[in-house]
Protein backbone atom coordinates (compact mmCIF):
# COMPACT_ATOMS: atom_id res chain seq x y z
CA UNK A 1 0.00 0.00 0.00
CA UNK A 2 2.79 2.38 0.92
CA UNK A 3 4.61 1.40 -2.26
CA UNK A 4 1.54 2.28 -4.34
CA UNK A 5 1.19 5.63 -2.57
CA UNK A 6 4.85 6.39 -3.03
CA UNK A 7 4.61 5.58 -6.72
CA UNK A 8 1.55 7.80 -7.09
CA UNK A 9 3.24 10.65 -5.29
CA UNK A 10 6.33 10.22 -7.44
CA UNK A 11 4.24 10.19 -10.63
CA UNK A 12 2.39 13.35 -9.63
CA UNK A 13 5.59 15.09 -8.67
CA UNK A 14 7.32 14.17 -11.91
CA UNK A 15 4.55 14.73 -14.45
CA UNK A 16 1.42 16.31 -13.03
CA UNK A 17 2.79 19.22 -11.06
CA UNK A 18 3.16 22.59 -12.68
CA UNK A 19 6.77 23.15 -13.66
CA UNK A 20 6.72 26.91 -13.97
CA UNK A 21 10.18 27.48 -12.54
CA UNK A 22 11.76 27.14 -16.00
CA UNK A 23 9.33 29.60 -17.62
CA UNK A 24 10.86 32.86 -16.43
CA UNK A 25 10.07 36.36 -17.57
CA UNK A 26 13.45 36.61 -19.25
CA UNK A 27 12.86 33.43 -21.26
CA UNK A 28 9.43 34.66 -22.36
CA UNK A 29 10.75 38.04 -23.50
CA UNK A 30 13.79 36.59 -25.26
CA UNK A 31 11.76 33.88 -27.00
CA UNK A 32 9.00 36.18 -28.21
CA UNK A 33 11.44 38.96 -29.11
CA UNK A 34 13.62 36.64 -31.16
CA UNK A 35 10.55 35.11 -32.82
CA UNK A 36 9.37 38.61 -33.72
CA UNK A 37 12.70 39.64 -35.24
CA UNK A 38 13.05 36.42 -37.22
CA UNK A 39 9.41 36.73 -38.30
CA UNK A 40 10.19 40.17 -39.73
CA UNK A 41 13.17 38.68 -41.56
CA UNK A 42 10.92 35.95 -43.01
CA UNK A 43 8.45 38.67 -44.03
CA UNK A 44 11.09 40.58 -46.01
CA UNK A 45 12.48 37.42 -47.60
CA UNK A 46 8.98 36.48 -48.75
CA UNK A 47 8.40 39.98 -50.10
CA UNK A 48 11.69 40.07 -52.04
CA UNK A 49 11.50 36.54 -53.43
CA UNK A 50 7.79 36.40 -54.28
CA UNK A 51 7.17 35.46 -57.91
CA UNK A 52 3.53 34.38 -57.83
CA UNK A 53 0.52 35.89 -59.54
CA UNK A 54 -0.71 38.23 -56.78
CA UNK A 55 1.23 39.36 -53.70
CA UNK A 56 -0.77 39.16 -50.47
CA UNK A 57 0.38 41.56 -47.77
CA UNK A 58 -1.98 39.87 -45.31
CA UNK A 59 -0.29 36.49 -45.80
CA UNK A 60 3.17 38.05 -45.47
CA UNK A 61 2.19 39.78 -42.22
CA UNK A 62 0.65 36.58 -40.87
CA UNK A 63 4.08 34.92 -41.09
CA UNK A 64 5.27 37.17 -38.25
CA UNK A 65 2.22 36.34 -36.12
CA UNK A 66 2.55 32.60 -36.83
CA UNK A 67 6.17 32.63 -35.67
CA UNK A 68 5.32 34.38 -32.39
CA UNK A 69 2.17 32.37 -31.66
CA UNK A 70 3.97 29.07 -32.28
CA UNK A 71 6.80 30.16 -29.98
CA UNK A 72 4.29 31.05 -27.27
CA UNK A 73 2.53 27.68 -27.58
CA UNK A 74 5.79 25.72 -27.40
CA UNK A 75 6.92 27.64 -24.30
CA UNK A 76 3.63 26.77 -22.61
CA UNK A 77 3.81 23.13 -23.67
CA UNK A 78 7.40 22.64 -22.48
CA UNK A 79 6.64 24.18 -19.08
CA UNK A 80 3.71 21.96 -18.12
CA UNK A 81 3.03 18.35 -19.06
CA UNK A 82 -0.68 18.54 -18.25
CA UNK A 83 -1.05 21.68 -20.34
CA UNK A 84 0.78 20.02 -23.22
CA UNK A 85 -1.72 17.13 -23.23
CA UNK A 86 -4.62 19.58 -23.28
CA UNK A 87 -2.97 21.59 -26.04
CA UNK A 88 -2.65 18.47 -28.20
CA UNK A 89 -6.34 17.77 -27.76
CA UNK A 90 -7.28 21.37 -28.57
CA UNK A 91 -5.14 21.53 -31.70
CA UNK A 92 -6.41 18.15 -32.92
CA UNK A 93 -9.89 19.60 -33.45
CA UNK A 94 -8.63 22.70 -35.28
CA UNK A 95 -9.17 22.74 -39.03
CA UNK A 96 -7.46 25.13 -41.43
CA UNK A 97 -9.37 25.49 -44.69
CA UNK A 98 -7.39 28.28 -46.38
CA UNK A 99 -6.11 27.03 -49.74
CA UNK A 100 -2.40 27.57 -50.40
CA UNK A 101 -2.06 27.94 -54.17
CA UNK A 102 1.66 28.66 -54.43
CA UNK A 103 3.95 25.86 -53.14
CA UNK A 104 6.46 28.49 -51.99
CA UNK A 105 3.83 29.91 -49.63
CA UNK A 106 3.76 26.51 -47.94
CA UNK A 107 7.55 26.64 -47.57
CA UNK A 108 7.34 30.00 -45.77
CA UNK A 109 4.53 28.69 -43.55
CA UNK A 110 6.64 25.73 -42.44
CA UNK A 111 9.63 28.03 -41.98
CA UNK A 112 7.67 30.33 -39.66
CA UNK A 113 6.25 27.40 -37.69
CA UNK A 114 9.67 25.74 -37.38
CA UNK A 115 11.27 28.94 -36.08
CA UNK A 116 8.43 29.32 -33.58
CA UNK A 117 9.02 25.79 -32.32
CA UNK A 118 12.78 26.26 -32.03
CA UNK A 119 12.61 29.64 -30.26
CA UNK A 120 9.87 28.36 -27.95
CA UNK A 121 12.11 25.44 -26.99
CA UNK A 122 14.94 27.84 -26.17
CA UNK A 123 17.25 26.78 -29.03
CA UNK A 124 18.12 30.33 -29.99
CA UNK A 125 21.39 29.59 -31.79
CA UNK A 126 19.69 26.97 -33.96
CA UNK A 127 16.95 29.47 -34.80
CA UNK A 128 19.42 32.17 -35.85
CA UNK A 129 21.71 29.85 -37.81
CA UNK A 130 18.82 28.10 -39.54
CA UNK A 131 17.21 31.41 -40.45
CA UNK A 132 20.39 32.75 -42.05
CA UNK A 133 21.00 29.59 -44.06
CA UNK A 134 17.40 29.23 -45.27
CA UNK A 135 17.21 32.94 -46.12
CA UNK A 136 20.41 32.78 -48.19
CA UNK A 137 19.22 29.68 -50.02
CA UNK A 138 15.90 31.29 -50.93
CA UNK A 139 17.61 34.49 -52.07
CA UNK A 140 20.02 32.56 -54.29
CA UNK A 141 17.25 30.45 -55.78
CA UNK A 142 15.15 33.54 -56.51
CA UNK A 143 18.09 35.19 -58.31
CA UNK A 144 18.89 32.13 -60.42
CA UNK A 145 18.44 32.74 -64.17
CA UNK A 146 15.02 31.60 -65.29
CA UNK A 147 14.62 29.15 -68.13
CA UNK A 148 12.05 29.47 -70.88
CA UNK A 149 8.74 30.60 -69.43
CA UNK A 150 5.70 28.41 -70.16
CA UNK A 151 2.78 30.16 -71.86
CA UNK A 152 -0.71 29.23 -72.98
CA UNK A 153 -1.71 30.42 -76.44
CA UNK A 154 -5.48 30.57 -76.91
CA UNK A 155 -6.67 31.14 -80.48
CA UNK A 156 -10.06 31.36 -82.13
CA UNK A 157 -9.97 30.41 -85.82
CA UNK A 158 -12.71 30.44 -88.43
CA UNK A 159 -11.84 26.96 -89.67
CA UNK A 160 -9.41 24.10 -89.19
CA UNK A 161 -7.15 25.38 -91.98
CA UNK A 162 -6.40 28.57 -90.04
CA UNK A 163 -5.66 26.47 -86.96
CA UNK A 164 -3.25 24.35 -88.98
CA UNK A 165 -1.55 27.52 -90.22
CA UNK A 166 -0.99 28.58 -86.62
CA UNK A 167 0.62 25.27 -85.74
CA UNK A 168 2.81 25.45 -88.83
CA UNK A 169 3.95 28.97 -87.88
CA UNK A 170 4.81 27.83 -84.37
CA UNK A 171 6.76 24.81 -85.60
CA UNK A 172 8.65 26.85 -88.18
CA UNK A 173 9.88 29.12 -85.40
CA UNK A 174 11.43 26.16 -83.62
CA UNK A 175 8.97 26.29 -80.74
CA UNK A 176 7.83 23.11 -79.06
CA UNK A 177 4.08 23.10 -78.67
CA UNK A 178 1.59 20.83 -76.94
CA UNK A 179 -2.15 20.81 -77.56
CA UNK A 180 -3.95 21.37 -74.25
CA UNK A 181 -7.49 21.59 -75.63
CA UNK A 182 -9.32 21.98 -78.93
CA UNK A 183 -13.00 22.76 -79.47
CA UNK A 184 -14.66 22.65 -82.89
CA UNK A 185 -18.05 24.30 -83.28
CA UNK A 186 -20.16 26.03 -85.93
CA UNK A 187 -18.53 29.36 -85.11
CA UNK A 188 -15.03 27.95 -85.71
CA UNK A 189 -12.15 26.35 -83.85
CA UNK A 190 -10.92 27.32 -80.40
CA UNK A 191 -7.60 25.76 -79.41
CA UNK A 192 -5.18 26.11 -76.50
CA UNK A 193 -1.47 25.39 -76.95
CA UNK A 194 1.31 25.22 -74.40
CA UNK A 195 4.62 26.65 -75.55
CA UNK A 196 7.78 28.10 -74.03
CA UNK A 197 9.25 31.50 -74.82
CA UNK A 198 12.29 33.43 -73.65
CA UNK A 199 10.68 36.84 -74.11
CA UNK A 200 7.25 38.29 -73.52
CA UNK A 201 5.93 36.90 -76.79
CA UNK A 202 4.25 40.11 -77.95
CA UNK A 203 5.65 39.70 -81.46
CA UNK A 204 4.35 36.13 -81.56
CA UNK A 205 0.79 37.26 -80.78
CA UNK A 206 0.95 39.86 -83.57
CA UNK A 207 2.29 37.23 -85.98
CA UNK A 208 -0.45 34.74 -85.12
CA UNK A 209 -3.19 37.39 -85.27
CA UNK A 210 -2.06 38.35 -88.78
CA UNK A 211 -2.75 34.86 -90.13
CA UNK A 212 -5.83 34.73 -92.34
CA UNK A 213 -8.82 33.17 -90.59
CA UNK A 214 -7.65 33.98 -87.03
CA UNK A 215 -10.20 36.04 -85.15
CA UNK A 216 -8.30 36.37 -81.86
CA UNK A 217 -5.07 35.25 -80.20
CA UNK A 218 -4.38 35.47 -76.47
CA UNK A 219 -1.08 34.64 -74.76
CA UNK A 220 -1.23 33.81 -71.02
CA UNK A 221 1.70 33.31 -68.68
CA UNK A 222 1.16 29.80 -67.31
CA UNK A 223 2.07 29.11 -63.68
CA UNK A 224 -0.29 26.25 -62.85
CA UNK A 225 -3.23 28.38 -61.71
CA UNK A 226 -4.95 28.33 -65.10
CA UNK A 227 -7.00 25.37 -66.22
CA UNK A 228 -7.23 24.94 -69.96
What pLDDT is attached to residue 33?
92
Report CA torsion sign: 40, 64, 36, 70: negative
Q: What is the mean pLDDT of the chain?
A: 76
Given this structure, which CATH class describes domain 149-221? Answer: alpha beta
What pLDDT is attached to residue 227?
42
pLDDT tens for 137-173 read 998 888 876 666 677 788 888 887 888 888 877 777 5
Residue 180 contacts residue 193 (beta carbons within 8 Å): yes
pLDDT tens for 171-192 read 775 567 777 888 888 878 888 8
List the one residue out of 199, 204, 196 whose CA is nearest residue 223.
196
Q: What would the DSSP string read from start to end of the chain?
A: -HHHHHHHHHHIIIIIS---SS--HHHHHHHHHHHHHHHHHHHHHHHHH--SSS--HHHHHHHHHHHHHHHHHHHHHHH-HHHHHHHHHHHHT--------SHHHHHHHHHHHHHHHHHHTT-HHHHHHHHHHHHHHHHHHHHSPP-PEEEEEEEEESSHHHHHHHHHHHHHTT--EEEEEEEEETTEEEEEEEEEESS--HHHHHHHHTSTTEEEEEEEE-SS----
> C-alpha 109: how far from its chain's center?
7
- pTM for the whole structure: 0.64
How do beta strands 188-197 and 214-221 pair?
unpaired
What pLDDT is attached to residue 94?
54
What pLDDT is attached to residue 168?
79
pLDDT tens for 33-55 read 999 999 999 999 998 888 766 77
Average pLDDT for residues 63-83, to the nearest whole number? 82
The full set of domain ranges for the chain reads 2-143, 149-221
Amino acid sequence: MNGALNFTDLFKKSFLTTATQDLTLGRILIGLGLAFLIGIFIYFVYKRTFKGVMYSRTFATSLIAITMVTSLVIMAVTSNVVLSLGMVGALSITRFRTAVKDPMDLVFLFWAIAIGIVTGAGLYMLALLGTVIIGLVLFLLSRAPASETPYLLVIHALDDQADEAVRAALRSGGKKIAVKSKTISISGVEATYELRLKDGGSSLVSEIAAIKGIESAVLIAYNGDYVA
